[in-house]
């Protein structure tokens, strides 16, 4: 009987850990990433378009060979997860470096025209957050009266790009209008056990049953790594959930900053 209880408890724990790995898309409703006409969160929203997910995702992301803009096919096809926005072609400046950082982040600039450049998770974030692509500039626009259009927005008509920096420059990262990646928290670097050295006091990543590496904060939140064990924007931010499970972790942070819980998930100060 005791053995059965132990097994059941272990299975419940693994299920809890597994469910914590992934974002809950339904939580995007009513957040700042809900730009539908029904959103009550902020003013930069659609004038009549009521779909929420379509601003970032489309169920039919087949690459168009006759795409006149060729702004998404030049990088990767298809761009996961069914991305519905053109990727930025902004030439990002130097990335953050430090004498105490044993690895060097890779630039997020995408420049290849043959699809040889891997699209990182952070590139998807930057298709809005570097201010170079309109928040209503969609790869697959919705049909309205037989025509494919980008949603009309407060402050921008149909097919008129509404750049994030127009009204909210504070939401821009990684370009010359902001402090840029040179002074931002480093992203797009491999976070390996070898990087967790005493000189910088980094924790060694944990490994989930599915092989994905992650950290946990003191408030038991999941801090994931991405492809090739890299730290990306989504490591600290849950794009579908503005306030986090505890509703105290705005903006879209995965863990609370109370007591620096988010920071201390990785920066333990003790090394390996």
Rg (CA), the chain: 20
State the Cα angle at 248 between 247 and 254, rounded to 5°: 85
pTM value is 0.84
* Averaged confidence pLDDT in the chain: 77
CB 127 within 8 Å of CB 174: no
Hey, CA dihedral for 55, 173, 124, 229, is it positive or negative? negative
Q: Which contacts qualify for 41-44: CB closer than 8 Å, 24 or more apart? A: 43/154, 43/155, 43/167, 44/135, 44/153, 44/154, 44/155, 44/162, 44/167, 44/168
Residue 35, CB half-sphere, CA atoms under 13 Å: how many? 24
The residue ranges of every structural domain in the chain are: 2-24+191-264, 31-185
Burial 139-157 (b: 16+ CB within 10 A, else e): bbbbeeeeeebbbbbeebe
> What are 39-86's pLDDT values in tens digits?
876 667 888 889 999 999 988 777 666 655 555 545 555 677 888 888
- Per-residue pLDDT at 220 exceeds 60: yes
pLDDT at 185: 87
Task: Tell me the C-alpha distance between 35 and 54, whole Å.
Answer: 10
């Amino acid at each position: 009987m005791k053995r059965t209880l132990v097994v059941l408890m272990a299975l419940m724990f693994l299920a809890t850990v597994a469910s914590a790995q992934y974002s809950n898309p339904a939580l995007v409703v009513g957040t700042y990433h809900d730009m539908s006409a029904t959103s009550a969160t902020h003013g930069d929203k659609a004038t009549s378009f009521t779909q929420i997910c379509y601003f970032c995702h489309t169920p039919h992301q087949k690459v168009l060979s006759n795409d006149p803009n060729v702004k998404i096919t030049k990088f990767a096809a298809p761009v996961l997860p069914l991305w519905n926005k053109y990727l930025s072609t902004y030439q990002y400046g130097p990335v953050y470096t430090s004498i105490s950082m044993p690895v060097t982040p890779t630039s997020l600039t995408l420049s290849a025209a043959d699809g040889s450049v891997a699209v990182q998770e952070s590139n998807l974030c930057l298709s809005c957050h570097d201010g170079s692509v309109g928040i209503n500039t969609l790869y697959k626009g919705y049909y309205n009266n037989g025509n494919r259009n980008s949603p009309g927005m407060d402050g921008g008509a149909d097919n008129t790009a509404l750049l994030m920096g127009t009204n909210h420059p504070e939401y821009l990262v990684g370009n010359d209008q902001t402090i840029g990646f040179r002074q931002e928290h480093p992203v797009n670097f491999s976070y390996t056990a070898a990087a967790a050295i005493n000189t910088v006091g980094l924790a060694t990543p944990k490994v989930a049953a599915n092989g994905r590496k992650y950290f946990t904060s003191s408030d038991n939140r999941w801090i994931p790594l991405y492809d090739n064990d890299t730290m990306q924007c989504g490591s600290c931010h849950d794009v579908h959930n503005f306030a986090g499970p505890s509703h105290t972790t705005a903006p879209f942070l995965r863990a609370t900053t109370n007591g620096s819980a988010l920071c201390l998930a990785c920066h333990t100060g003790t090394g390996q």
